[in-house]
Every structure is written in structure tokens, then in C-alpha cells.
Chains A and B, each alone.
Chain A
Amino acid sequence: MKQFAALFAAIDATTSTNEKVAALKAFYENAPDDDAAWATYFLAGGKPRQSIPTKVLRSAALAASGLPEWLFEESYQAVGDLAETIALVLPPPIRDDDESLTTWIESRLAPMRGATPEDASATLQSYWQMLDIERRFLLTKLIGGGFRVGVSKLLVTRALADFSGVDAKTIALRLMGWTDKNAQPSTAAYAALIAPVAPASDGAQSQRTDGAPYPFFLAHALNEPVEKFDSLLGDPRDWIVEWKYDGIRAQLIKRGGMVWIWSRGEELMTDRFPEIVKRAQTLPDGVVIDGEILVMREGDDVPQPFNLLQQRIGRKTLSKKILAEVPVQLLAYDLLEFDSADLREQPLSLRREKLEALCAASHWPLSTTVNASDWATLAQLREESRQRRVEGFMLKARDSRYGSGRTKNDGTWWKWKIDPMSIDCVLIYAQAGHGRRAGLYTDYTFAVWNRAPQSADEAQTVVAAIKAGLPPGELQLVPFAKAYSGLTDEEFKRVDAVIRKSTVNSFGPVRSVAPSLVFELGFEGINLSPRHKSGIAVRFPRMLRIRDDKPIHEADTLMSLNALM
């Protein structure tokens, strides 16, 4: 594990991508194949199988550290990361250890799953005693299941390509599915990953029977005014325009009579959507469809809101009732493989043609395209997005190939989203962030008024009551959303300073503040939610800007939120 810990530390210690790639390459050159396989799994974003519940992890650390619980908690608040806190507060190691990464994962960590909390805690404490801070951190991350490496999949692909001499596109394709939680990294899988490409045998297309997906092609955001589209994009007829659905991006693979459904995060989701699998019986073999999973009743052309889909994903077991009430469909918009042939190098117009024929023959739901001869007409149509429960338009160049990742090398896909809804609200609670925002108050809770205050003075009586710790009166600030993104580092520092100065009370890590700051909060959607005090849930809330120009009594009300629904 020393080599992998050194690699992790090297990647973590530098911000230079060249140095990261160099460190990766050096690792691959020296690591045994089984360790390289596991390392690749983790580097590419594979999640460790959590073998110990966080509660047990925490209590074992507390016992090993000899600290009072409150002090451990204070330390955690300052660090913002449990594994790092544990690595730092434990006493120095008393033994050394030289076992490989593979031994650690397969022979030491895997057997801990299912152990009694007592046994797990004892074993863990004995492991911590033989590791320095770096490896302790790594081990604890691996056990706690929250392991992430500061390196993009693209860099790992680049390093593997450099090291093996296989081109990066092939490596990217072979890496697909590596990080699924059911994948088992092995020497054989690693050998296949870096094996030289076999020369193409003429004609005979080998029939694939595996369930691996293709790298997803991702779109770029288009934030220009429509007046510029003619010069930026040319004739709209060179583009395939589709509604941008708000569901789960997925690839459906049917090969050798089997069906797989993959998420964009490369997670295998086949079991979650039995009705899609069943429907795929009508599809021929050797087909890969790219599309969007949506909650949609048969015959409807408007999908149900995203939060229904979210509820459905949250279910561990899918009862008949759920399947009947929250039915899903995979709306197809691209065809990546047909008749076992990889179509990704063909232009989109041709793929779309084949897709339309396939969907017609197999009665498969197909995304609708929108035709218009000028951008202004499209801009006008886009105004219907909210009624249609879509996020705007997708613009895909007719001649685009299907690239891997967010690239413009193969022709471009644009997402032309509608502006977010927004509301002016008041910051009332704050919590310190994690990772690079540890120790800085960056996670905020926002409130709106239950009715419009009559005056600045009336609003100030609410502030005074909050400061004095009095129960709320008739006029109240009602929390409705949390957000932690959208501000620059400088703005966060400024807000952090205000929060420290205006703290009224602390509840564990959360501070309540005397309301003084108004923010414009943007979000993508809004729905009724009995689980929230305000009765409202917003989707993708983020801060658009600090409204220094607005006093708190001019912030919006519950009524203004309701009006957006």
C-alpha cells in the first residue's frame, strides 16, 4: 500500500496536471499488476465497498485517540473530513507494514464486512497502529467508503495511454464499466485494459456479448444571446434540436439476449428499471441506445416532475404499486450501436435516421425533434419549456460524431437552457464547508418572509427577536432552501466574516445569524413538499449573487415562491 499512498500523496500535493500524470505513470511502471488493477479502479472513480459503518469507524477512532468526544467533534469541524481527522488525531504508529494494496483490499478489508462492531473496531485499531498519517488516511477513506482521488478520469486515461502505448480513446472505451460496484478489478482485467489493439480483421464484425457501455458524449452550456446564434451556430437546419429532458441520462445495451442499463456515472442500474428491461425484449440484439430515463405515463408527452423519479430511485424494493404509480420510460435520442456495429464515427443525421426506424419497428419511445428555419422562432418555442417540464433545448450538430466526454473534437452538442427561476431571500443559518472550504462558512440556509413586512422597522423587530432568542411572532422568516455554490472565493470570505460577526447561536456545527444579508437564489424547479417546513422544495438551488442593494424587508415572500409553481 506504500506505493499507492505515495501516489495519492503526490497527486494530492500538486496542482499541476503534468506532475499528476508523471506520478501516475511512475506508479504504473513500478506497481505489480494486481495493485495496478485496484489502483485503476479507484483512480477512475470506483467506490470502495464500505466495509464498516461510519458509526463504528467513529467510535473506534474515538477509542484509539483517547480524546473526549466533544474534542474529537471540534477537530472534525476544523478539518471537515472524517478520515483526515482520524488520521491526524490518532497517536503515532507503533509498527510498520509492507503489505500490498491488493492484500489490504482483498485479505484485510473485505473480510471486515459483516464483522460485529466489536471485532471490526478492534481490527481497525490494530491496523491504524501500523500506518503513518498518509496511509491511515487512505485506509480510513477506503473503509469509510468516501474515497476520492484528486485526478480526473481523463488524466488517468492519459497516463495509462502513455504508459501502455495504447491510444487514449481505446483506453477510455475499455475503462467503461470498470468502476461499477460489481466489477472486480483483477490482473486479467488490467491486462486486457492495457493490451495492444489487435489489428482489425476484415469484414467479420465480432459479435459483442459483454454489457460494457460507451463513454458518454457530453454537451457544453450555451449562454449567448439568441441574436448571436446565426454567427455562432449558422443555419438552424444544420442542427438537430430536441427538448432537453430533466431525467437520468442512460445507455441501454442489448447484446446476446441480455439487457444492461448504465447511468452517466457509469453505474449499472438495470435492476432499478424492470419495465424498461421488459420493454427491451422488442429490441433486436447488438443495439446500444443513448437516452433519458423519465417518469412518464404511456401516451403522455409531458414527463412527470423530476422529484418523482428521485423518489423512485430512492426505493430499495419496487412494489407493484410503485411500478404502477411511477412508471418510467427510456426516451431514446441516439443510437450508438446497431446490428453489433459501432456507429459512433457516423454523423448524427445518419444515426438519427436509423434510430427513428428502430424505434418505429420496436415501438420504442423516441425524443421529439423541433424544426424551425430561424433561431428567433426556436427562442420563442423555448419559452414553453416550463409547461413541458423540460430544461430548454439541446442543439446537436447534424454532422457530429459521438465523441467521448465533454469534447468539441467530434462536433458539438450544446445545452441551451432556460434561465433559472430566482427569488431574493435572507441568510439565516450557516455551516462550515468540507474539503477546500473546511473552516469557512459556505453552506447556507435561506428564508423568505411568511408575508411581506410592512416596513424596515417591522423587519428589524424580527431581527431583534432572533438576537434576543425570543420565539417568533406573527411575522416570520421561513427557511426553504439550502445552497453552497455560486459565490467566488472572495465573496465566500466576505460572507464568512459577516457570519462570524453576527452569530446569535450555535447548534453543533450550525450557526444561526442575525439576518442581514439578502441573496438572489436561482433554482431549476419548484414543487410542493410536505417534508419541508415551508411546504416547498426547490431543485438545484444556488446563489446567483449577493444583493447588497436590498435590505432584508425587501426580500421575497412565501407567496412569491408559490406564484412560481
Chain B
Amino acid sequence: MAAVHANDTDLIVLRPQGMYCPAGDFYIDPWRPVDRAVITHAHADHARMGHAHYLASRDAEHVLRSRLGAIDLQTLTYGEMITINGVQVSLHPAGHVLGSAQVRVAHAGRVWVASGDYKTAPDATCAPFEAVPCDTFITESTFGLPIYRWPNDADVFADINAWWSANAAQGLASVLYCYSFGKAQRILSGVDASIGPIVVHGAVQVLNAAYRASGVALPDTQLVTDVADKASLKRALVLAPPSVAGSSWMKRFGEYRDAFASGWMLLRGARRRRGVDRGFVLSDHADWPGLHSAIAATGCEQVIVTHGSVPVMVRYLEEKGLHARAFATEFGDDALDDSAPEAAITTAIVQA
């Protein structure tokens, strides 16, 4: 049944198409078209077009369909187990975005978990990260350096509210650049909607609809074309993907203040390079303490590190006495989510 593979003990190996489970003959977040793909979450670098069959969490269904259209999709509730070619497969919350899941794969007494992207911080728009005991944990490492420690969400939202209020008081729109899927909805769930109207870019609105259809409560949001009272734009919070900066879409807001919400905004250099008025530190990825608490909580013996600060994580984990190695994946090369800094920071180093 299973395909031939180099190491019999590995439940998941790397193939040119992506991470592959030889025993179950399926891929996890493959980057080339395959027959059977298990999808951790709907960000574009993890959920690609062209696979014959998709398996994802039930919470991911609306967002996945809004991005990929009519696909052959099977869904599981978190914790529900199915068997694929004799391999037990279940999905567990990763806390990254709505519907994000860790993939638990169990076979012949071994348990491997592929995390996809995850965060351990709270997020009102998705189920919280859940530690899943395993032998081998495949982890991301987007923010795998000890400089990355996130401030409290409550403080960040208070800062955003204060910034928005101060701008509104001066009659200036508050344009907050953020990724359309995940970050935008998390911000919507955290801001004080009584400060003023909330306007979103079309790319954000599509996902808002998918979130609402999934039962996530969000404050009212309008497209700029639907705003009847144009004067109200001067008090508005505007959520838009970073790509619209400097485009004609921005002209409707007259004079405005802008800001960027991302984990990368923790560094002064990154903030200054963005050239926005403000940077808010808000990430959908685990920070350094989050990564290590998540790894420790699995009780695993082996860690395989994918995209991010791969060599740093591998060396650090090795020094702590774990077996650690890397998978050279193609994750994090898509600007739709903040796994990709402007200059893709470390992914290129390892693969040599």
C-alpha cells in the first residue's frame, strides 16, 4: 500500500510536492497539485489550488471556499478522527486564524503532529491553540528569535483605539494596513466600534462575510463605495491590505494617518522601513516563548522546523537536548500572511 520511502520510521517526509505521509498516501499543505491534500489553514501559501481532494477543519470551510471556490472538500470537527489507508488522522485547533488546524497523524504506535502556522496568544475569532501530545512535532518558526515577545493583546487594542480616537478627533481617517484574512478580523473583534464607522477594503469584506457565515461575531463594516455620508470617513477606521498603500483607492480618504499591524512592527528598523505613522505589534504567529511552550507541551522527542528562523530553532532545540532538523518548505513566501517579511528573512539561508 504505502509508497517506498527512505526512512521507515518517518510518518511524514518531504517530497517535491510538499510534506507527505507515505503510510497514508496523502500530503499536508502541498505546494504542487496532488491527489489528496490535508490543509492546515486557508492562507494562500498553505492552501493552494489544483488538488483533487481537500481535507480541512469544519471551521475552515467558509474561508477556504471563499478563496478556492468549488473544491472537493471534506471537513472534520476538531478532534474528530478518520482513517486514511490505515493511518489515523485528526485536526486540532492551532489558534492561527479561523479554521486553522494542527494535523495529528498516528500509525503503528507513532504519533506525529504538523502544526501549520499557530499562535498561543488569545484570539476571539478562532479556537485557541491546543497542545497535542506526540513523538514528532513539525513546527513553524516565523518569529523564532528571542527578541520576539508579544505585548498583551488588550494593550495593543487599547493603543489602536487611542490612535483611532485621536485621529477622529482631528478629522483624519485612520488607515490600518493589515492582512485581509485573519489579522483584519482579529482587529475588528478587538477594537471599540463606538469610536466611529469602520470601512474595509473589498478583500477584507469577502473574508468578513466568510467569518460571519462561520458564526464569528464582528462589528459592522462597510465598503467605501457603500458609505453614503462621505464626511463620516474622517472619523473612520479603515482596514486594508498593505498592497493598497499609495494606490488610487486611498484617495477617497483625503488626509489620513496610517499604521501597520504585524509582528514585524516590534522592531524599530522594520517600522521605519514601512514608513507608516505607527506600527502596532500584532501577530498571528507564536512568539519565541510561545513556540517553546508549545513544543514543550507536546512532550515530543523530535522537532522538525519549517519556514522562519529555521537554523536558529534547530540549533537551539538541539542544545536543549531534543532531536531537531529542518524541512525546506515553500511556506511563508506569500505576502498574504505575515509569515513573509518584506525581505524574506531567513528562509533562504538553510536550504543551501
In the complex, which residues 37-70 of chain A have their Cβ closer than 8 Å to any Cβ of chain B? 65, 67-68, 70
Interface string of A486-507 (1 = CB under 8 A from B): 0001000100110011010010
Q: Please measure, in the bound complex, the distance between the C-alpha atom of A436 and the C-alpha atom of B264, giving whole angstroms.
A: 12
Which of the segments A76-84, A365-373, A545-553 contacts the partner chain?
A: A76-84
Contact between B269 and A15 (Cβ–Cβ < 8 Å)? Answer: no
* B349 within 8 Å of A (CB atoms): yes
Contact between B343 and A440 (Cβ–Cβ < 8 Å)? Answer: yes
Contact between B272 and A65 (Cβ–Cβ < 8 Å)? Answer: no
Chain A residue numbers with a CB within 8 Å of B276 are 15
Interface string of B335-352 (1 = CB under 8 A from A): 000000111110011001
Contact between B272 and A435 (Cβ–Cβ < 8 Å)? Answer: yes
Interface string of A424-441 (1 = CB under 8 A from B): 000000000011111111
Contact between B349 and A75 (Cβ–Cβ < 8 Å)? Answer: no
Closest CB in chain A relative to B38 CB, distance in Å? 30
Identify B147's interface contact among A89, A436, A493, A506, CB under 8 A: A89
Contact between A501 and B273 (Cβ–Cβ < 8 Å)? Answer: no
Q: Please measure, in the bound complex, the distance between the C-alpha atom of A496 and the C-alpha atom of B273, giving whole angstroms.
A: 14
Identify B272's interface contact among A89, A436, A493, CB under 8 A: A436
Interface residues of B, count at CB 8 A = 32
Residue of A nearest to B269 (CB): A438
Contact between A14 and B277 (Cβ–Cβ < 8 Å)? Answer: yes
Contact between B315 and A16 (Cβ–Cβ < 8 Å)? Answer: no
Interface string of B312-350 (1 = CB under 8 A from A): 100110010000000000000000000001111100110
Interface string of B290-315 (1 = CB under 8 A from A): 00000000000000000001001001
Q: Please measure, in the bound complex, the distance between the C-alpha atom of A19 and the C-alpha atom of B277, giving whole angstroms.
A: 10
* B278 within 8 Å of A (CB atoms): yes
Residue of A nearest to B258 (CB): A15
Contact between B145 and A503 (Cβ–Cβ < 8 Å)? Answer: no
| Residues A503 and B147 in contact in the complex (CB < 8 Å), given A12-B268, A15-B277, A438-B267 | no
Q: Please measure, in the bound complex, the distance between the C-alpha atom of A36 and the C-alpha atom of B146, giving whole angstroms.
A: 35
Interface size of A as a range: 35 or more
Residue of A nearest to B268 (CB): A84
Q: Please measure, in the bound complex, the distance between the C-alpha atom of A15 and the C-alpha atom of B279, giving whole angstroms.
A: 11
Contact between B319 and A68 (Cβ–Cβ < 8 Å)? Answer: yes
Contact between A16 and B277 (Cβ–Cβ < 8 Å)? Answer: yes
Chain A residue numbers with a CB within 8 Å of B268 are 12, 81, 84, 435-436
Contact between B343 and A493 (Cβ–Cβ < 8 Å)? Answer: yes
Chain B residue numbers with a CB within 8 Å of A75 are 145-147
Q: Please measure, in the bound complex, the distance between the C-alpha atom of A438 and the C-alpha atom of B272, giving whole angstroms.
A: 10
| Residues A67 and B348 in contact in the complex (CB < 8 Å), given A81-B269, A440-B343 | no
Closest CB in chain B relative to A61 CB, distance in Å? 12
In the complex, which residues 1-18 of chain A have their Cβ closer than 8 Å to any Cβ of chain B? 12-16
- Inter-chain contact total with CB atoms closer than 8 Å: 86
| Residues A15 and B275 in contact in the complex (CB < 8 Å), given A78-B147, A89-B147, A439-B343 | yes
In the complex, which residues 272-330 of chain A have their Cβ closer than 8 Å to any Cβ of chain B? none
Interface string of A67-106 (1 = CB under 8 A from B): 1101100110011110011001100000000000000000
In the complex, which residues 432-453 of chain A have their Cβ closer than 8 Å to any Cβ of chain B? 434-441
* B266 within 8 Å of A (CB atoms): yes
Jot down 28 A-B pairs with beta carbons below 8 A, ordered by A: A13-B279, A65-B146, A68-B319, A71-B312, A74-B312, A75-B145, A75-B146, A78-B145, A78-B147, A78-B267, A79-B267, A84-B268, A88-B148, A89-B146, A89-B147, A436-B272, A438-B269, A439-B269, A439-B270, A439-B341, A439-B345, A440-B273, A441-B343, A493-B342, A500-B343, A500-B349, A501-B348, A506-B349
A: which residues have CB within 8 A of B? 12-16, 19, 65, 67-68, 70-71, 74-75, 78-81, 84-85, 88-89, 434-441, 489, 493, 496-497, 500-501, 503, 506
Kindly list the 9 A-B residue pairs having the minimum CB-CB distance in the complex, ordered from nearest: A438-B269, A436-B272, A500-B348, A88-B147, A75-B147, A89-B146, A436-B273, A440-B343, A436-B269
